[in-house]
Amino acid sequence: MAPLELTLGDLTEQPVDAIVNAANSSLLGGGGVDGAIHRKGGPEILAECRALRAGHYGKGLRTGQAVATTAGRLPARWVVHTVGPVWSAAEDRSSLLVDCHRNSLAVAASLGARTIAFPAISTGVYQWPLEDAARIAVSTVRDADTSAFEFVRFVLFDQRAYDAFAAVL
């Protein structure tokens, strides 16, 4: 059971083996943390995403799935791209947010990553309430086999997100 850490900051600056990108199914970039990763990581990341789309992921990445690419110019070694569920008041999509964290941990561990950093997946453009996302993220990581890692870190971009995660840690 690796220790769980919280940090207030920019995921793209994390000197860890793997950072997790809150991507979309196209894998071809977007705004938020996805945009920051591609902007700062450089074109190699998109090139590898395009190769994934030309190959096994021809139809894109399904919600909850995870796949890795280089991290390009970022301090991290890999980017694990995952697609979070869009919040819905009508439908409980929690299991898909659980899948994002479980599958990202598994992909990172399969690469040999020893350290990993997550953003608050789905809590931006995808509108998932922070408190609920924090509860699901922390409980999923706690329940997972994280023995492959020295630590699992959540990197929160603002104080409100940080406080939401701190409240459930």
Query: Residues interacting with ligand APR, by CB under 6 A?
Result: 10-12, 22-24, 30-36, 84, 119-126, 155, 157, 161
Give CA–CA dist 106/142, Å, rounded. Answer: 14
60 Rama sector, left if φ>0, alpha if ψ -120 to 50, beta otherwise: left
The reply to whether 143 belongs to the active site is no
- Give the nearest distance from C-beta 31 to ligand APR in angstroms: 4
- Give the nearest distance from C-beta 28 to ligand APR in angstroms: 9
Point out the residue whose Cβ comes nearest to ligand APR: 30
Give CA–CA dist 130/135, Å, rounded. Answer: 9
If the CB atoms of residues 77 and 153 are measured against ligand APR, the closer one turns out to be 153
Hunting for tokens 């992921």 — which residue is that? 57
- Give the nearest distance from C-beta 36 to ligand APR in angstroms: 4
If the CB atoms of residues 43 and 112 are measured against ligand APR, the closer one turns out to be 43
Active-site residue (options: 10, 34, 158, 163): 34
- Give the nearest distance from C-beta 147 to ligand APR in angstroms: 26
Backbone CA torsion sign across 117, 100, 147, 48: negative
If the CB atoms of residues 24 and 146 are measured against ligand APR, the closer one turns out to be 24
User: CA 134, 135, 141 angle in degrees (round to 5)?
Assistant: 85
CA distance to 4, 25, 117, 150, per residue, from 16 (Å): 14, 24, 7, 10
**Catalytic machinery residues:** 34
